[in-house]
Amino acid sequence: MATKYKILQLLLLVTLFVTTNSIQAQQTDISLRVFPSSWYNSYFEPGFDGGGLCVTYHPILNKVLRLNISAEFSVLRSRNEVLLGFGINRTIWQAKRFRISTEANLLNGIDLYKPYPLFVGGIEGLGRFDYYLKKKLTLFVAIGARVTACPGYRSFGVWKHSSWPITVGVRF
């Protein structure tokens, strides 16, 4: 239980640091995610898996490429996860107030199982639509596919999941 609170405190500190730093704030987003699911351990089982909160920082590499560095806490049907993500975002089309992009992320973190947390890893791909309200304020939605696995839980039950994350957020 103490580990869960330490992780939440660390996530809160990262969120505060990223959102209060004036230079980084232009490329930071906060989003809420829901996870409609499809497969558990390779068995088809549609349903709603849960939701989460994600904070992402996007350093710009060039006109069409950005890095994704994220921290996510998710409360899901069979587990709670804390994930750190690293990936890339590529602009496909951009106009004055609109931007369409794709992103791919590698995910590493822990599932908060008792008596001790277990490693979880995964990959995800998303399509993203941004609408610029102001120069430094953007609303966005994203949808994609995600696969996560917790090998340490394999002998106990559900250890591999696939879902279709739907994300709504704001970038500032």
> Could you read off the pLDDT tens digit of each residue along the chain, which spans 172 residues?
556 666 666 666 666 555 554 444 358 999 999 999 888 877 888 888 899 999 999 998 999 999 999 999 999 877 889 999 999 999 999 999 999 999 999 999 999 887 888 999 999 999 999 999 988 899 999 999 999 999 988 877 778 889 999 999 999 8
Global confidence as pTM: 0.81
Structural domain 2-171, CATH architecture: Beta Barrel (2.40)
Cis omega (within 30 of 0) for bond into 46: no
pLDDT at 10: 65
Query: Could you write out the DSSP letters of every residue in 27-70?
Result: GEEEEEEEEEEEEETTEEEEEEEEEEEEEEE--B-SSSEEEEEE
